[in-house]
Structure 1
Amino acid sequence: MIFRQLFDPQSSTYTYVLADGNTHDAILIDPVFEQVRRDSALIDELGLKLRATIDTHVHADHVTGAWLHKQRKGSTIVISAASGAEGADRYVGEGDRIEFGVRHLFVRSTPGHTGGCISLVLDDRSMAFTGDCLLIRGTGRTDFQQGDAHKMFHAVHEKIFALPDNCLLYPAHDYRGLTVTSVGEERRFNPRLGGELSEDDFNGYMRNLRLAHPKQIDIAVPANLLCGAAASETVREQATEPQWAPVNYTFAGIWEIQPQWLEENLDAVQLIDVREPDEFVGPLGRIPQARLISLGELADRTGELDAQRPIVTICRAGGRSAQATVILRQAGFGEVANLAGGMLRWRSEGRVVENAGV
């Protein structure tokens, strides 16, 4: 099985990719709207087919990426039937199976943080995804969205602590950088409901948390009740693709452009070759109209560039020029892309060059 744990630093949300290693059918758990571009890049690079996105509940701190993934990948939207959300393709409840290839997740109803929370247990019970019900040495809050400490206590003990001790638990959030725990650990060490703590102990603990109101709740909850289709214009703009060229976003966070488009549109961009001078005049040649600014000089020479025209960076194989795009974006240039594969790919495809072989 293919498994990846991804993180959104703005909301401290974990998104999980699971895929069947043979069929490459994949699912995403708790996707974030602003991270759809990143998630899509990873799915494409791993050669996966996104079949479904699953939200463990109606989140209050971020907008789900479910709707946008559906627009891009044709994936189905899955959420709890008790969530109150509209616009999903499938509503699930206790005991349902969500399949990806020959693997599947079991749905367990774990209300308490919200009325519609679910946890997802892998078919072999080696791992489970607990949403905001059980966190690492903590739990989700229970003071809004039909939250109920008594329901959470029973959900954790009856649905999560009933799993094997070595079952790994992956939460929807963590605010301290912790990534994974286990049933055995939480049953022993969770300070809210582990050990010998009773239901009354837990209820008293939760009643006195005194947490601040989630900053994004007024934006996130209405949007998530429509599975992300009602994301605000500000949120949508952050996920909008560049319009100046058919650029591709990589999981490494680099915008890339393909050689064919570039060869057909040399006059539409500024070409910045960041190789060293001896490479610029070397046997690989150079692309017509390319301007040499070596990578080590680029940060000090950005003032020589036209901020109103797109920039494509070039090097031998695409590594140094990828870093050049980072430098340019930090300097305030928005329309920047790296030539995928660099001059090696450009030459291998027989595209036009100057000075080749000199």
Structure 2
Amino acid sequence: MIFRQLFDSESSTYTYLIGDEATRQAVLIDPVLEQADRDLKLVAELDLTLTHVLDTHVHADHITASGVLRERTRATVVGSVGGAGCADVQVRHGDEVRVGQLVFRVLATPGHTDDSISYLLGDRVFTGDALLVRGNGRTDFQNGNARQLYESLTRVLFSLPDETLVYPAHDYQGRTVTSIAEEKRHNPRVAGRSEAEFIHVMENLHLPKPRKLDVAVPANRACGQLPHPEA
């Protein structure tokens, strides 16, 4: 397997390029619009063919490159049922996405947003904003729900083997990876906390809204296709 973790400094977003060495088919997870040229250059350098683009949810802090990448490569855009209606394939819990010989299993992990999903590939899971390194996504917009997120964390993600590597969609302190065991033990939001305690924490974060919220959400519901000014 070919694996690369890429970073967008403006939004602190991680994009993941994963390729199948046998077929040279590849997928990008959570690509950022401004980084589309960078990502496609790397795909070409590694002699890969981009066949799929996976979004973990409708993002609020950056615009996805999924639509642009589909236009330029004819890749299949995959998103959650209830998420962006522009996706070619809308998946739900238990579905599989095959990229060459790689099999991604879809885990429904709502709570940050109502359409949040994670993708499990062997011993690693790509959690979007549901589970972060020593944190988790906020729950105060896009039909977020703290009780639902607690269930997603404790009953879905924390049921994976302890050694499973966790690759989130963001980190604001330069941390690149964690594990299920680490987060079960050390995540200050959820480790050792009851559902009620977790909800109390989430309801009292008082975070400013994402700077691009009003632009990013409608754009991402259209796979990152920005409306023309005259529209």
TM bucket (normalised to shorter chain) is over 0.9
Offset at 1:22? 1.1
Q: TM-score, normalised by structure 1?
A: 0.63
Paired residue for 1:94? Answer: 93
- Counterpart of 2:193 in structure 1 is 197
Q: Distance in 2 between matches of 1:78 and 1:102?
A: 17
Letter in 1 for 2:226: A
Of the three residues 141, 145, 152, the one matched with 2:142 is 145
Please identify runs of 4+ aligned residues in structure 1 that moved more than 4 A: none
Alignment of 1:149-188 (within 5 A): 149-188=146-185
Aligned counterparts of 2:82 and 2:44: Cα–Cα separation in 1: 32
Question: Is the counterpart of residue 110 in structure 1 residue 109 in structure 2?
Answer: yes
Matched positions, count: 229
TM-score (norm 2): 0.97
Rg comparison, structure with higher value: 1
Is the CA contact (8 Å cut-off) linking 1:165 and 1:184 kept in structure 2?
yes
Q: Which residue identity is paired with 2:118?
A: S
Is the CA contact (8 Å cut-off) linking 1:219 and 1:232 kept in structure 2? no
Alignment of 1:1-358 (within 5 A): 1-83=1-83, 85-122=84-121, 124=122, 126-194=123-191, 196-230=192-226
Answer yes or no: is the 8 Å Cα contact 1:63–1:231 preserved in 2.
no
User: Counterpart of 2:77 in structure 1: which amino acid?
Assistant: I
> CA, structure 1 residues 223+148, in 2 after alignment: closer, same or farther (shift >3 Å)?
same
Between the aligned partners of 1:33 and 1:181, the Cα distance in structure 2 is 26
Report the alpha carbon displacement of residue 86 of structure 1 after superposing the two structures with TM.
2.1
Q: 1:3 and 1:104 mapped to 2: Cα distance?
A: 14
Stretches of structure 2 that go unaligned for 5 or more consecutive residues are none
Deviation at 1:88, TM superposition (A): 1.2
**For 1:263-302, what per-residue CA distance to the aligned partner results, in whole angstroms no more than 9, with x for missing partners?**
xxxxxxxxxxxxxxxxxxxxxxxxxxxxxxxxxxxxxxxx
Q: Deviations over 1:63-118 (max 9, x none)?
A: 000000011111011100121x2211100000010111111100000000000000
**Using a 3 Å threshold, how does the CA distance of structure 1 residues 170 and 231 change in structure 2: closer, same or farther?**
farther
Give a deviation string over 1:17-55, Cα, whole Å, max 9, x none: 111111111011000000000000000000101011011
Matched letter for residue 160 of structure 1: L
| 8 Å contact kept, 1:92–1:107 | yes
Whole-angstrom distance in 2 between the partners of 1:103 and 1:87: 24
Cα distance in 1 for residues equivalent to 2:130 and 2:29 = 14
1:230 Cα shift?
2.3
- Which residue is equivalent to 1:330? none
Deviation string for 1:178-206 (max 9, x for gaps)?
10000000000000001x21001100000
User: Residue 161 of structure 1: SS of its match in structure 2?
Assistant: helix
1:168·1:180 contact (CA, 8 Å) conserved in 2? yes
Shift of 1:232: 6.8
Structure that is richer in strand per residue: 2
The one-letter code matched in structure 2 to 1:59 is H
Per the TM alignment, residue 231 of structure 1 is displaced from its structure 2 partner at its CA by: 5.9
Tell me how far apart the structure 1 counterparts of residues 106 and 147 of structure 2 sit (CA, whole Å): 20
Alpha-carbon shift at residue 211 of structure 1 (Å): 0.5
Aligned-pair Cα RMSD in Å: 1.0
Q: Distance in 1 between matches of 2:150 and 2:228?
A: 35
Q: Which amino acid aligns with 2:189?
A: R
Q: In structure 2, how many angstroms separate the alpha carbons of the residues matched to 1:107 and 1:87?
A: 19
Distance 1:94 1:20 in 2: 23
Deviations 1:192-251 (A, max 9, x none): 001x21001100000110101100011100100111122677xxxxxxxxxxxxxxxxxx
Larger relative contact order (CA 8 Å, sep ≥ 6):
2
